[in-house]
Amino acid sequence: MSGNVQLLSDTLAKAKAEDRAALVAYLPAGFPTVDGGIEAAKAVFDGGADIVEVGLPHSDPVLDGPVIQTADDIALKGGVKIADVLRTVREAYAASGKPVLVMTYWNPIDRYGVERFTAELAEAGGAGCILPDLPVQESAVWREHAEKHGLGTVFVVAPSSRDERLATITAAGSGFVYAASLMGVTGTRESVGASAEDLVARTRATTELPVCVGLGVSNAVQAKEVAAFADGVIVGSAFVKRMLDAPDHAAGLTAVRELAAELAEGVRRTP
């Protein structure tokens, strides 16, 4: 079975045709439980998310801030495995028909086996992977297998990336480019910052791929701000925080569904 990179591209193109940014939601697999994480992914789709990133929990994350680290710890203590991540992808995609990616550090894939992981992710209906710590110059084996199985390879660019480096990264990627709006780890912030707009402009100068902005967006006002210059708005910590703060799981599902609806309005660029 081939993966769903084309569905990912079509979804981003459809949002552009509607003169809006796509809403991309991030949630870690296995949080608060495997079944609970699947329900949360379905809830954000129900609320209006266009794309979901399923996080593969890692014990030593380099990009994730304290909110997502807390959720990852809960998932890891619950015994989450790669099979559970793939099940989350499968069930979220089957329920929604919308693109689902995995966001993961490289080590778990390397240990699991690149061919095995790409084949199983494609079989689950996955659209691709976001690989924040895989250097482009070391990505040839991954990209070969991902392309063979119809999966996108999303690389992360940052404000510190020089133009020449941006061109190298975007030439190797597919699906979209993940633009980190600022230096540092994930988490909600008061302001997304002007550096994000500059980074999107510089990235677009090197590629036809859509550019989606993440790190820091937590509410509809910020989503609207980013949607004015980006092809997609990525929100993670705000969803996870809603789940963490909820008094029970049902309330958490309601909270993330409502946040997705608010953000979906924000990305629509209405005056």
Cis peptide before 132 (omega within 30 of 0): no
Residues marked as catalytic: 53, 64
Distance CA 253, CA 250 (A): 5
Which pLDDT score, from 0 to 100, does residue 183 have?
Answer: 46
Question: What is the chain's mean pLDDT, rounded?
Answer: 92
Residue (of 40, 115, 121, 45) closest to 82 by Cα position? 121
Enter the tokens of residue 213: 């902005």
Which pLDDT score, from 0 to 100, does residue 193 have?
Answer: 63
pLDDT in tens, 140-188: 999 999 999 999 999 999 998 899 999 999 999 999 999 987 644 444 4
Which pLDDT score, from 0 to 100, does residue 55 have?
Answer: 95
126, β-bridge pairs: none
Query: Would the pLDDT of 189 be above 50?
Result: no
Let me know the angle formed at the C-alpha of 196 by 89 and 198, rounded to the nearest 5 degrees: 130
Q: Name the amino acid, one letter, at 207.
A: T
Distance CA 92, CA 38 (A): 6
Which pLDDT score, from 0 to 100, does residue 184 have?
Answer: 44
Query: Would the pLDDT of 95 be above 80?
Result: yes
Distance CA 212, CA 226 (A): 9
pLDDT in tens, 197-233: 999 999 999 999 999 998 778 899 989 999 999 999 9
Pairing of strands 232-235, 22-28: parallel
Let me know the angle formed at the C-alpha of 258 by 253 and 186, rounded to the nearest 5 degrees: 80
Query: Would the pLDDT of 262 be above 50?
Result: yes
pLDDT in tens, 35-83: 999 999 999 999 999 999 999 998 776 566 788 888 999 999 999 999 9
- The structure's pTM equals 0.94
- Got the DSSP string for 46-106? HHT-SEEEEE---SS-SS--HHHHHHHHHHHHTT--HHHHHHHHHHHHHHH-S-EEEE--H
Q: Name the amino acid, one letter, at 268.
A: R
CA 201 distance to own-chain centroid: 20
For 17, 32, 99, 239, 241, the CA distances from 255, given in Å and listed in that order, are 29, 14, 22, 8, 10
% of residues, the chain, pLDDT over 70: 92
